[in-house]
Amino acid sequence: MAIPPYKAPSRTAYDIVIVGGAVIGSSTAYWLTQALGNGASILVVERDSSYEFSSTALSTSAIRQQYSNPINVKISQFGIEIIRGFQERMAPFYKDEPAPDLGFREHGYLYCCSP
Ligand SMILES: Cc1cc2nc3c(=O)[nH]c(=O)nc-3n(C[C@H](O)[C@H](O)[C@H](O)COP(=O)(O)OP(=O)(O)OC[C@H]3O[C@@H](n4cnc5c(N)ncnc54)[C@H](O)[C@@H]3O)c2cc1C
């Protein structure tokens, strides 16, 4: 996927400014947009649009769904559904081109333990 060129902010002031646009920053921006609609202006500031050195890009993409706390299980299940359906969810924002493929491949998770 081509690296987006630098784009200057279109306004001089925003209701919400998020510093860092990797998984947490982008997700926060997306969900705030969903929650607040067009009523709030949100700016994501990212210093490296290639994301090459972000933890998100360096991650091994292992997503564990076993936890002792049910809330953590739910959070993880929610996250994995978002990642699985990412391209479809983003499609409305990409009118003339396919939405980005995250390249996520599920290979399972191996636990080694004693009897
Ligand atoms: C090698 C590695 C393997 C991992 N494997 C896993 C795994 O298998 N499973 C798992 O669940 N987690 C894993 N993690 C952890 C997971 O990747 C991170 O917790 C997650 O990606 C953090 O996301 P983030 O958006 O908070 O941070 P990041 O992905 O680091 O994003 C921060 C962004 O902020 C930008 N930024 C920082 N400062 C500024 C600034 N001053 N101005 C503008 N922009 C700025 C950076 O350029 C970057 O894009 C791994 C991490 C690493 C490093």
Domain residue ranges of the chain, discontinuous segments joined by +:
14-59, 60-97
Q: How far apart are CA 14 and CA 25, in angstroms?
A: 15
Closest CA to 14 of 34, 31, 29, 35: 29
47-83 as b/e, with b when 16 or more CB fall inside 10 Å?
eeeebeebeeeeeeeeeeeeeeeeeeeeeeeeeeeeb
Of 56, 72, 80, 83, the one to substitute when testing ligand 1's pocket (max ligand atoms within 8 A of C-beta) is 56
> For residue 14, what pLDDT is reported?
97
Residues with CB under 6 A from ligand 1: 19-25, 45-48, 51, 54-56, 58-63
- Output the residue whose Cα is nearest ligand 1's atom 36: 20
Q: pLDDT tens string for the chain (115 positions)?
A: 677 778 889 999 999 999 999 999 999 999 999 999 888 999 999 999 899 999 999 998 888 888 999 999 999 999 999 999 999 999 999 999 999 898 888 888 888 999 8
